[in-house]
Structure formats: C-alpha cells, structure tokens
Structure 1
C-alpha cells in the first residue's frame, strides 16, 4: 500500500458508543467502543508518531461525549473532525458474553448524534477536508448509521479522495438489524466497493449479506470489482489474502481461553493496516493482525490497556 507522504494522515469515519459490559453477577462495567473507533485506537497505538490518526464522527454536548473526547485525545487521536451537536447524545450498547466468550449485543442508537454526521452545516468543512487525507477508513456500520443522505455524501468524498491519490480501506462489518432490508444494505455496499483499495472482510458477514457459497466466490467477486487487496478474516482459522494477483494464507494464533471476542476483527484490521503502511508485506501484516487480536480476545471489552 504505497503512500506518498512519510507521515500519512488517516481519517476513520464512524460511530463510538457508550459501552456497557454485563458481568456474570449482573453488574455493568461502563466504557466506550465502536468498530471504527476501536480500530482508530489500536491504529494510533501501533503507528504512534509515524502517522496522524483522526476520527470523524458526531457526538452530543453531554458528559459522556466529553469523556469520549478526553480518552481519544489521550490515545493520540485527532479531534478536529469531531462534531459536537447541542442537545444530542451518543448511542449506547450492552455486551453480553457466554461461557465461550461469544458476544450478544443490545443497542440503543436510533437517535444518536452520528446519524447527522454528514448532514449538518458544520459537516461542510469536514467533508471538504477529507479528500486531502492519505487514507480514509470506514465500515459497513458506518454506511448504516450515516443514512441515505450521509452515504451519498460519503460516496462523493470517496470519489474525490481517490482522484487525489488517497487509499480507501473498508471493513465490511454487516449488522442486519441496522438496515431496513438486506436489499438496502447490498445496494449501499455495492455503491462504495468500486472505490475500495483494501477490503477487510469477515467471511460470515459476506455470506450473510451476499450469499456467497465459499471464499473462492468472494475473491472472484472482488476481483471483478477491481479491489486490489482483499483480506478474509475467519476468526480462529487462518485468514486468506489476495493482493495484486498473489494468494496468501496466514494461520491465526491460538489462545488457551477466549474471554471476549469484542473488537477481535477491529484490532486485526488496525494491526494489518499499520503494518502495511509501515512497508510490511500482506503476510507480515496478517501475522501482526492475528497477534494483536489474540491478545484482545483474552480481555473483557473492546479496548485493552496499553
């Protein structure tokens, strides 16, 4: 993944929510999380001063939003592209995990401020600035929460960014409950995929959304779209990679006990992208992704301590 500047500027677009982790005794531990935000934190840690990592979202003017911004700043994440909307609140979700560490999510996010992220007057300078970044990163959840109008503005931004040699990174993260129908979701995904340079895909999500029969069908479809680098994440199994016509298979790292799989894919994506931006090969990047994800799933919650 060739970047023109020595210190790339990376903007991740999406939603951070109030996170509640339900413990075995029924008590709740409060923190913050969201797929692209999780990736932003791990990416900022991995790249440190070798890149500028900014987050693009909309929050409220409440104390939870204040706390989010404080944490992001402490992680080295830039806040210049974060809107604060008066009277609004961030979304909220609760993580429930079973004995095997598998997750179940409960969401309260219909009125979250991020739904107006690209529709406010304050969004205009942000949208104008994004095409000048070296890397734009977003997910399927980003597509869902932005809504139809926000997605249209995102697509315009992606087109302009590609014309200025930016690299577009997409994590599929398909969540059916965020969409009115599977047809709406498919149309939204297909509208952005032609702009994507690096697709970080979860096999289960691709099968649920597009009905692919196997990994070969996934790769064949993305080859037709023209995506130069595709990574298929398969949980505890080896990930599969196709990059510029070459194929790689990189085994996952085994752990003795899985505590919580929250942010496993997000952390993998962060470490993979970081290693690629630092000049690593796809195979080296996947090894870094597996290593970080193996540590994340042994700790409750989305973000492990430094």
Structure 2
C-alpha cells in the first residue's frame, strides 16, 4: 500500500454525555480530535501507511494521543514533545442531529510551536502522497512556514498533494488573510476538497461551476466540492465534470469528521488506482459512515466494513 505523510494538531476531545448546552454539561467521554488524525486513522484502517507529523505537550493528554496513534498503526517517527506547552483540547456538545457546538482550548498549544526543524530528517522519496489541511497554517507563523516548506518539498520530490481547506476562522487574524493563505496553498495541490460554503467564502463565487473555474485558473487540476448530504461536484481541468450522490444514512449522530472521511475515501481510492468517479463515491460512503458515530473518527471503516456499506449490506 501507499505511504502518506500528513501534519496536524491532535487534541484531547471531551464529548458531553447528555444533550443540552455545553455550559450545563456535567459528564464527558474522552476521545481524540483533529482533522488530520481522522484522516490518518481512516487511511490506516484501509491498510495504508501514514506518518503523522506533530508536536504534543509533555502531559497526560499528549502521552495518551501518542499511544492512540501507535495503537491505530500510525507512524509516529516525527511526533515530538514540547514540555513548555500543553496539548490542545476540545469540548463538544451532544446533539440529536446536526452540527454540535465545539469549544477549543488550543491557543499557545504545543502544536502551535511547531517549526521547520520537525521535518529536517524526513526522506521525502519514501512517500507517495502528502495530505494537508488549512488548520496547521492557522496556528502560528512558524506553523505556516512549516506547511509551506512541506508543500515545496513534496512538489520537488514528485509526491501527489491533496488539500482540504478545513476553515477555522477563529484561528486567523481576519478572513482576508485566511483566504489569501488557504488559496495560495490550494493552488499548489493536485486535488482539493472545499465544502461548498468554504468555496464561497474563499472565492466570493456562489455557483459550483464558478468556484471550480476559480481554482482551475489558479492551477488546481482537480476540484471536488463537498455538498453535504447531496454528495459532491467534481471538476477537472481537462473539462470533465460530474456530480456524485450522497449515501443515505439511518441517523445523523454527529457531523464532525464527515469531511475528513470523505478525503480518506477519495485519496485512498486514487492511490489504489480507482477511477476518479469511483474514488469520489468511496469518499461519499465513508463520509456517510462518519456521521453515524459520536466520536470524530469512530465511524471510519476498515476495508470489509466499507465494502459492505457500499453494497448497501449490513455491517457486522
């Protein structure tokens, strides 16, 4: 299987056990959060080798995350500890359906102090693919420089690059700077996965065709716009365009992590030699599975579960 490299900030996640406002929650269950963690776990469960670059606090949460990554067969060679700062944390509301409230405590976290030194020993020719999101460059100036350097190294060494904007406006000084940096990174990727609302924020366009055209003009070969329950719209620079229907779900438990699951499906499919349309369909399937579980990555399937779900067969 392929070897993938990614970078991100994994966080301790506390999910309320009872529905209602986070203000009133008394008991929480602990999970691990982070868009790139979700992506890494999803790829690992499908048999791909993932190396995760990050920096953790030398605290119980950081050590727990490190153990969690190893347990999920994720390579932690480039995971380091920073004793002067703490591991980031999140708290998430329990909801019957839809998007939960999420509160983060990540300012000045260990991960926000990542810099280029973390990747000095990486042998880029060992990898096939780099997956980036818009979260690490939002954490700090040093993180942004690190992500730019990773993009540069990947392109110079022939790696394919996927990019998911994963907009976090609260982490940026302003929306203008956010759009400038995210679009600059997106322009260097081979395939991007903005949600439709993200695409509108980043481009100022409203129609899927116009959003796709904006990124093609910037140099992006393949643009995949996530449309939520409606599926996805894919546009290629060669003129090929198509819609992919979403997979029906029995119950939407938690929407967090669905986009990461979608990226898992598309990237894994392409790395395994599937046609683009089949890879997008796989992404839609994994995204659907992700929303039916309470944790950010609990619903990400192994290969057998994915095959059954895509055939509309019962799992387990």
TM-score (norm 1): 0.90
Question: Partner of 2:171 in structure 1?
Answer: 178
Distance 1:124 1:24 in 2: 41
**Which consecutive segments of 4 or more residues in structure 1 shift more than 4 A?**
none
* Native 8 Å contact 2:55 2:114 kept in 1: yes
| 1:131 Cα deviation after fit | 6.8
Distance 2:156 2:12 in 1: 36
Question: Partner of 1:64 in structure 2?
Answer: 61
Q: 1:150 is matched with which residue: 143, 166, 171?
A: 143
What are the ranges of 5 or more consecutive residues in structure 1 without an aligned counterpart?
Answer: 1-6
Q: Does 1:274 align with 2:271?
A: no
Offset from partner CA, 1:28-66 (integer Å, 9 cap, x none): 1111110111011001111x1xx4211011101112111
Instruction: Write out aligned runs for 1:127-166 (5 A).
Output: 128-130=122-124, 133-145=127-139, 147-166=140-159
Question: Partner of 1:253 in structure 2?
Answer: 247
Question: Partner of 2:186 in structure 1?
Answer: 193
Question: Partner of 1:92 in structure 2?
Answer: 89
Instruction: Write out aligned runs for 1:23-62 (5 A).
Output: 23-24=17-18, 26=25, 27-46=27-46, 48=47, 51-62=48-59
* Native 8 Å contact 2:115 2:145 kept in 1: no
* Native 8 Å contact 2:199 2:225 kept in 1: no
| 1:197 Cα deviation after fit | 0.6
Question: Partner of 1:209 in structure 2?
Answer: 202
SS in 2 for 1:23: strand
Distance 2:124 2:158 in 1: 12
Q: Does 1:295 align with 2:289?
A: yes
Distance 1:130 1:184 in 2: 29
Q: 1:230 is matched with which residue: 219, 223, 232?
A: 223
What are the ranges of 5 or more consecutive residues in structure 2 without an aligned counterpart?
Answer: 20-24, 302-316
* Native 8 Å contact 1:130 1:157 kept in 2: no
* Native 8 Å contact 1:257 1:298 kept in 2: yes
| 1:124 Cα deviation after fit | 5.1
| 1:8 Cα deviation after fit | 2.8
The Cα RMSD (Å) is: 1.8
TM-score (norm 2): 0.87
SS in 2 for 1:77: coil
Distance 1:19 1:71 in 2: 13
| 1:277 Cα deviation after fit | 0.4
